[in-house]
Amino acid sequence: MVPETSSNARALITRPLARPAIGALGIGAFLLLWQLAGAGSAARADFISYPTEILATFAGMAASGELGANVAVSLGAFAEGFLPAILVGIAFGTAFALSRRLRYLVDPLFAALYSAPMIAFVPVIVVWFGVGVESKVAMVFLAAVVPVAINTTAGVNGVSEAWVRTLRAFGASPLQVVAKAVLPGALPAIMTGIRLGVGRGIVSLVAAEMYVSLKGVGRLIQIYSSSGRPAEIFVLVAVVSSFGLVCVSALRALERRLAPWAIDR
């Protein structure tokens, strides 16, 4: 028999609000150790910086308008590439799952794209789309559409055949079968693909901005890296990481609402 205190502790940990609290505690402990190590290091100005210095640098960059202007450029390019990637990835993934021959035809291509480093495509994208926002949008789209399509295919293939047969028995059309059984059943896998696409899209966006952009967070990272300013670099990395965390958290909340049976609480 499991002790009552142990059961209560496990129930507390599994509550939705307990997970963010535990995560925040871990981040707080890490920042405290970083602060103590960084503030006491003679090399901090040139190599590691520390949280309070980074916070002051963030305030200065935000007050000058430099941070906000470049973040807005990056967010715009990300949205322009990522939203179409979701729609195209879901459509392609569904088509691949419903057509075995089509899946066999494109499987090698998508496997190669998924395993290839996106930064290697930057020169080709620049040749195709030129130096500008179009290249960044194309990089985000290319990076995000592949995991969305692959996970959609896996999700659709995993839909219970009983659901499909039941709808067909009641006279549902193929479009109704897809809308009422296939896509809802594949939703957890689709959301996983979208979350993976967020990370790949952000990395590809920053890489593209470092090479082919005059504005954006990636461009600032390159500038401050070449001038050896770690506080500014950490500010930009924190901004990028925070954006990814917000996106993933929002997607988890959406999945919890749309498919509560599939979320690990």
Domain identity same for 100 and 148: yes
Domain identity same for 164 and 255: yes
Domain identity same for 18 and 114: no
Mean pLDDT of 20-27: 78
Domain identity same for 79 and 29: no
Number of independent structural domains in the chain: 2
**73-100 residue pLDDT tens:** 999 999 999 999 999 999 999 888 888 8
**187-224 residue pLDDT tens:** 889 999 999 999 999 999 998 888 877 788 988 998 88
Tell me the three-class secondary structure of the chain, residue by residue.
CCCHHHHHHHHHHHCCCHHHHHHHHHHHHHHHHHHHHHHCCCCHHHHHCCHHHHHHHHHHHHHHCHHHHHHHHHHHHHHHHHHHHHHHHHHHHHHHHHCHHHHHHHHHHHHHHHHCCHHHHHHHHHHHHCCCHHHHHHHHHHHHHHHHHHHHHHHHHCCCHHHHHHHHHCCCCHHHHHHHHHHHHHHHHHHHHHHHHHHHHHHHHHHHHHHHCCCCHHHHHHHHHHCCCHHHHHHHHHHHHHHHHHHHHHHHHHHHHHCHHHCCC
Domain identity same for 98 and 21: no
What is the model's pLDDT at position 77? 92
pLDDT at 265 over 50: no
pLDDT band per the 50, 70, 90 thresholds, residue 129: confident
Domain identity same for 140 and 225: yes
Domain identity same for 55 and 85: yes
Domain identity same for 81 and 116: yes
Which domain does 19 fall in, by range?
Answer: 1-40
pTM above 0.85, yes or no: no
Domain identity same for 62 and 154: yes
Domain identity same for 4 and 132: no
Q: The domain spanning residue 66 has which CATH number? A: 1.10.3720.10
Domain identity same for 24 and 126: no
Domain identity same for 165 and 252: yes
